[in-house]
Amino acid sequence: METRALDLARKQGNRRLEAEVALAMAEISNASGVPDLALEHAERALAAADAPELRAAVLGMIATARVALGNAESAHAAALEALDIVGAKGGVEDVEIVVRLAHAEALHALGEHAAALEALRAAKTTLLARAAAIVEGTQRETFLRRVAVNARILHLDEEWSKESA
C-alpha cells in the first residue's frame, strides 16, 4: 500500500506527500529490523522533503538507521543537523522527541556515554512534560509505554543509568 502511495505522490508531483510516504516506509523498515532498507527509504524522503519539520524527522530516521548499521559518525552528523532544525523552529512537537532520541543513540554509538545520557535525559524531560499535559492516567501511561519512541526513551534511560552507575 505504501509503495502504491509513493507512486501516486510521484505521479502527482506532490513532493511533500512523497517524502511523508517514504518516511513512513523507512519507519516500517526500521521497526521490522531492516535498517539498510530504512536508510534507503529515508534518503529518498530526504530528497523530497521541503518543509523543515519534515526534513528534521527524516534526518532523525537517517541517524537511527545509520546507528543500527554501525555508522555512528554519519548518524551523529545527521542527528546534529536535525537538532539544528528543531532548535531553529523552537521545538517541533513529535519530531523533537524523535530527533533527541536519535541524537542520544548516535552519541552512545560513538562511545560518548555521558553525553548520550545527558541527551537522553533532555529527551525524557521533553517527553515527561508532554505526558504531564495528559490528564487521564491511563491515556498518559499509554502515551509513555505504548508509543514506541517514548517507551524506548524510558527503557534506555533506565538501561544507560545502570551502565553509568
**Structure confidence by residue, pLDDT tens digits, 75-131:** 999 999 999 999 887 666 679 999 999 999 999 999 999 999 999 999 999 999 999
- Number of structural domains the chain divides into: 1
Euclidean distance between CA atoms 4 and 105, whole angstroms: 32
b/e code 80-103 from CB counts within 10 Å (16+ = b): bbbbebbeeeeebeebbbbbbbbb
- In the structure, how many helices (H) and strands (E) does the chain have? 9, 0
Residue 10: burial class (beta carbons within 10 Å; 0-12, 13-18, 19+) = middle
Please, what is the Cα angle at 58 between 55 and 60, to 5 degrees?
Answer: 110
11, pLDDT greater than 70:
yes
| 15 vs 66 pLDDT, higher one | 66
Q: Give Cα 107 distance to the centre of its chain.
A: 14
Residue 119: CATH number of its domain: 1.25.40.10
Please, what is the Cα angle at 44 between 40 and 49, to 5 degrees?
Answer: 140
Q: DSSP secondary-structure letter at 130?
A: H
The pTM for the full model equals 0.91
The backbone region for 13, taken as left when phi is positive above 0, alpha when psi lies in -120 to 50, beta otherwise, is left
What's the domain range around 126? 2-164
Give 37-90 pLDDT, tens digit per residue.
999 999 999 999 989 999 999 999 999 999 999 999 999 999 999 999 998 876
Give 145-156 pLDDT, tens digit per residue.
999 999 999 999
DSSP 92-108: -HHHHHHHHHHHHHHHH
Contact 65, 38 (CB under 8 A): yes
